[in-house]
Amino acid sequence: MSRGRREIAEPAAALQVLARARTDEIVVLSESTRQDWPPLSTRPELDISITGSMGKASSFGLGLALARPDMQVWVLDSDGALLMNLGSLVTIARAKPANLIHFVYDNEAYDTTGGQPTPGAGIADFTALALGAGYPVARAYDQLEDLERDLASILAGPRPALVVLKVASLGRRPMVGGMRPMREAFAAIREYLASV
Partner 1 sequence: MAVLNAALQAATVLDELGRSGVTHIVWLPDSETGYMYEAMRASPLTLVPVCREGESMAIAAGLIMGGKRPVVLIQSTGLYESGDSVRGLCLDLQLPLLLMIGYRGYPGRGRPPADSAARFLEPILDAWGIPHYLVDSDATCHHISEAYEQAHATIHPAAVLIGKEYNG
- The contact set with partner 1 (CB under 8 A) reads 28, 48, 50-54, 56-57, 59-68, 71, 85, 87-88, 90-91, 94-95, 182-183, 186, 189-190, 193-194
Shortest distance in whole angstroms from residue 12 CB to partner 1: 26
State the pairing for strand pair 161-166/47-49.
Answer: unpaired
Q: Are 79 and 104 in contact (CB under 8 A)?
A: yes
How many Cβ atoms from other residues are within 10 Å of residue 34's Cβ? Answer: 24
Shortest distance in whole angstroms from residue 7 CB to partner 1: 29
C-beta of 7 vs 79, nearer to partner 1: 79
C-beta of 41 vs 59, nearer to partner 1: 59
**Alpha-carbon torsion, ordered 161, 15, 110, 47, to 10 deg:** -80
Shortest distance in whole angstroms from residue 105 CB to partner 1: 19
C-beta of 60 vs 135, nearer to partner 1: 60
**Which amino acid is it at 182?**
M
Give the N- to C-terminal CA distance of the chain in Å, as an integer: 44
Rounded CA separation 46/186 (Å): 10
DSSP assignments along 135-170, one per residue: -SEEEEESSHHHHHHHHHHHHTS-SSEEEEEEB---
C-beta of 146 vs 184, nearer to partner 1: 184
Q: Are 77 and 86 in contact (CB under 8 A)?
A: no
Shortest distance in whole angstroms from residue 187 CB to partner 1: 9
C-beta of 50 vs 179, nearer to partner 1: 50
Shortest distance in whole angstroms from residue 33 CB to partner 1: 16
